[in-house]
Each structure stands twice: as C-alpha cells, then as structure tokens.
Amino acid sequence: MSTHASDPLAALGSLPGVADAVDSVRKAVDRVYGHRVMRRRSNEISSEAALRGARGSAALSGADWALEEVRRRTDFGTEPEARTVGAALRLGAEAGQLLSIWRQSPLRVLARLHLVAAGDPGDSVGRPRLDGETVDEPLVEAPLPSPAEVAGRLDGLSELIVAGGEAPALVTAAVVHGELLALRPFTSYNGLVARAAERIVLVGSGLDPKAICPAEVGHAEQGRAAYLAAFEGYLSGTPEGVGGWIAHCGRSVELGVRESTAVCEALQRGAA
C-alpha cells in the first residue's frame, strides 16, 4: 500500500493484472445477477452463499468440513474445529448487519466481528492485542507486527475507507483482507475476520449487494498453498506481489460466482 497518490487504493488499479481482474469480476457478477432464478429466489441464493462462504473460510482456518456436515450440525461449542466452523457461520450471519456502520467506523465493525467470532466476552476479545499477548492464527506464520504498528496501520486503513474514493470494490476488498491478515490485530480468528471484512466491502460497495458471490468459496477452492503464496506477494509490497494478491482475490470472487450459478441452475431444475 505504499504509494504517494492522493487516492492510494485507486492507484492500485494500475498494478499488473489488476484492471483485467476487476473487469473479469464485474462481468462474472453481472452474469449471475442476470440469471432468471435470481429474479424470484435471490434470498435462497444469498442464504446458500453465506453457508458455503462460511464453510470455505473455516476450511482455510483448519476446519475443512464437508458442506453437508456444516449444514447438519447444531453444536459448535466443543472441539476447536467445531468452534472455528461456528465462528465462521456467526460471522456470515453478522456481516450483513454491519454494512451501514462500515463506511463510518470500520474499526468498530472489526471489533464487533472479533467479538462475534470469539463468542466469548473475554479480556482480549473485541479489541486489538496488547504487548505480550499471543496470537492464535493457524494459517499465517508471517512475522507479527507490534501492537503499536497494528494501531497505526489500522488507523490508516480506517481513514482510507471513511474517505472513500474511486478504487474498484475488488481492490478495496483485497487490501482490507490483506492488511488484516498481515496485522493479525486480534488474539484469535484473524483469518475469519479478514475474510468477513472482505465480504462486507464487496457487498457494501454495491458490487455484490445481495451477497451471492462468496469469495471465501474461491479462496478455499484455490487451496491454502495458493492463498498463502498470493498473500506472501501482498506482504512483499512489490507491484507484482500486490497486483497478484488482488488478482487472486478476484479469481476467488469468480469461483464464488460459479458456485452460486450452480445453485441457481439446481434450483431451476428443481434439484435443490
């Protein structure tokens, strides 16, 4: 995100591969929104997208359950994998309630997301971590920024979001996702929160207003190795690395679109 442009997020649109990714995502989203099933059953598609998105996000955080297991289970308060899946499901349900707050107070939304994910009002829940507090993040092993650096970069990110700008939704969503993964501001569930925040940006921006294009599905489908490789590119700060991360997030949205298109087709056939 190091750029001297007056609109740093918009400036990222000129990075290698980003314009093509933005255009490809826009076309994919338009196609699924034009599906005839969407005209009368969009609520069903949204509900299914939330479920599948939660499953995908949990899989990246180490709880790779079959979709039907996620659909069937009612108890998520026991073993660690169950807690992870439960956290992802709660975040999927909560994200839509926070859209109006995001543009005014993104840090408040992030705190709320962590509280919802943790499901436990402990001392470290719902606030950025302090000196000496450890971070439980099973996927990301990159060096951990200090709490002081976390506070400064979160403030900077918040200012960019509140200020708005001309950046495409995909660019903003990818940067929010990447920054939260890089910072890991909370003591737990940072990956789940980062992907929920990405979803909020995509929905709240108007790109995916009905929340039917779950990027989390695509992130999981591309696999943890590809996810981490793309994230390493973001961490590098190079134009190629950051552009590659944004393109990876774009591909994830497109795969989420493909998933929801399949749900539309199944509903049209009467098979779901």
Contact call for residues 117 and 87 (beta carbons, < 8 A):
yes
Compute the distance between CA of residue 216 and CA of residue 178 in angstroms, rounded to an integer.
14
* pLDDT attached to residue 4: 36
Q: Is the dihedral of CA 175, 25, 15, 232 positive or negative?
A: positive
Name the token pair of 230.
Answer: 């793309």
- Rounded to 10 deg, the angle between the 106-118 and 80-95 helix axes is 140
Q: DSSP class of residue 5?
A: S
Round the CA-based radius of gyration of the chain to a whole number and report it: 18
Helix 106-118 to helix 190-204 angle (10° resolution) is 130
The Cα-based distances of 156 to 4, 107, 171 in angstroms read 14, 11, 16
Q: What is the pLDDT of residue 5?
A: 43
* Burial bucket for residue 202 (CB in 10 Å: 0-12, 13-18, 19+): buried
Q: Which two tokens stand for residue 153?
A: 């970069």
Strand partners, 188: 136
Q: Tell which phi-psi region holds residue 17, choosing left (phi > 0), alpha (psi between -120 and 50) or beta.
A: left
The sign of the CA dihedral 101, 104, 109, 111 is negative
Query: What is residue 1's predicted lDDT score, i.e. its pLDDT?
Result: 47
What does the alpha-carbon distance between residue 248 and residue 195 come to, in Å, rounded to a whole number?
13
Joined tokens for residue 51 = 């479920």
* Other Cβ atoms closer than 10 A to 236: 13
CB-based contact 244:233 (threshold 8 Å): yes
Q: What pLDDT is recorded for position 108?
A: 97
pTM of the shown model: 0.94
Tens digits of residue pLDDT in 52-109: 999 999 999 999 999 999 999 888 877 899 999 999 999 999 999 999 999 999 999 9
Intervals of the chain under pLDDT 70: 1-6, 271-272
pLDDT for 6 equals 61
Q: Within 10 Å of residue 13's Cβ, how many Cβ atoms?
A: 18
139 contacts 229 by C-beta, under 8 angstroms: no
Helix/strand/coil percent split, the chain, to 5: 70, 0, 30
